[in-house]
Structure 1
Amino acid sequence: MRFYRQTILLKLALPTLFIYKHLKAMTQSQLRIIDEITSRIAVSRIYQIGHRQYVETYDGIYQQTKRNREHFDLLVVVDGICNREAFNIQKSINSSSNIGISVSLWIHSGASIEEFLYDKRSGHFFHEILKSEKLIYKMPDDPEFDVDTDINALNRQGNLDEIWARGYSKAKALLHAASTLDENDNEEIKLWLMRQAMKQLCLAFIFKMIGYKPSQHSLSYLFNICRCITPVFDEVFPREGMPAHKLFKTQKISILHQRCKDWMERAKEVVMQGS
């Protein structure tokens, strides 16, 4: 707790441009999100992995309202361990209706990233991000990561292919199991099978495409990462639709099952095109 307070005091005491070491033109949305995050947890770095703008439409009784919204995909490097408060920030920001911004936070401790850098399966992702110009926030005197390891010398392709094939097979089996249940069976069982199928598919797809192992496994979180990887995902599960946790509660099961099957086939196409 003492280190956290010192970090915040240091942040307030130093000039903004020194803290936001990116020193490029920072948008008001970026500054707002950075302040939202760093005011709650001790953060050493933030990388902007993705950014999307879209329009949300709300149909009321008497009128239709459209809102411009922004979504940020951010790799957040925290001091110390990733506690519950760190993972609750995303939900808090996304539930705030007045800021017009949503986020997907890829939260990791500095120590875990150091380990990932030498992992032949996940190392490529972190090497690419840390060596890029995606840094938008950095605390002064934060030590640099060792990204000089010859990560390309590590053979990872066979491992990625194996994980993708295994995840795809699991998802296919789970969806098939859901389809074999008749109308008299408990709908909750069908929904559970479909949710598990999508989790298995998304985890395998994410790992295959970018070599990243998500620190959270909620379906909404995994959907947002898939959306960051390919626009194809929005063609199956449109952003202006319901979030995943509501979709699997209110969508008609037959329609939802078809969407899941569609995403399986579209994901397979994306993987094959990228191979």
Structure 2
Amino acid sequence: MRKFSSPVIKALNNYVYIYSHPITNEIFYVGKGKGNRIFSHLEEQSDSLKVKYLADLASNGLKPKLEILIHGLEDQTTALRVESSIIDLLGIENLTNKQSGYHSATFGRMSLKQINALYDKETIEVDDPAILIRINQAFRYTMSEIELYDYTRGHWVLNPERAKNAKYGIAVYEGIIQEVYKIIDWFPAGTTYSVRQGNENIKREELEGLENRYEFIGNLAPQHIREKYKFKSVEHYFKQGNSNPIMYKNA
């Protein structure tokens, strides 16, 4: 089947669908749409992971299993949020989707501590030598520990001398401290291995043009430092309109 009838399309309204392996039942793609959107990927031609996966199935004489996960949704926003929650549940790293779901970094899967930090903010003053690093564009609550570390530590345009005076690197998303790292040393960007180099979903341009940028290596800060700062708000440090992701405190 490559097309729904008009009565089916009307009944489906907005829906969320999944593609899975026909033998293992492993879900490899989650999407949302209306009408015949679910079938569109079967004709898609690109160099995406999804198309490569479909081509690999075809080379083995297999076809993906297509299923409607939920339908009859009245509006697109609801479908987007359901899609996003499924992606968060399965993990973007286990799918061929290019991006996390709709507003995943704002409304997606998160711990109770993250929920409290977001909606009942506790402001803190950073009194240790530190560099605050805003990772708003890359952050999602379902990031693994190594992803959060690698996206926090580089690649940044900064003052090397001031950065070397910072004892801690602090990951900040939307004004909330997500993690604290003890900085060991700084290196030219792209010279130490990270998951960013090994992730096929990362655009090649991101790993190019790294001249005059830096990254640090380090490890998790001592527990008492992490407990002191983690999930506290530092949004008062960032004035509205300030887009610089880097801020030095006591360094």
**TM-score, length of structure 1 as denominator length:** 0.24
Larger Rg belongs to: 2
Identify, as 1 or 2, the structure richer in helix: 1
Structure with the larger strand share: 2
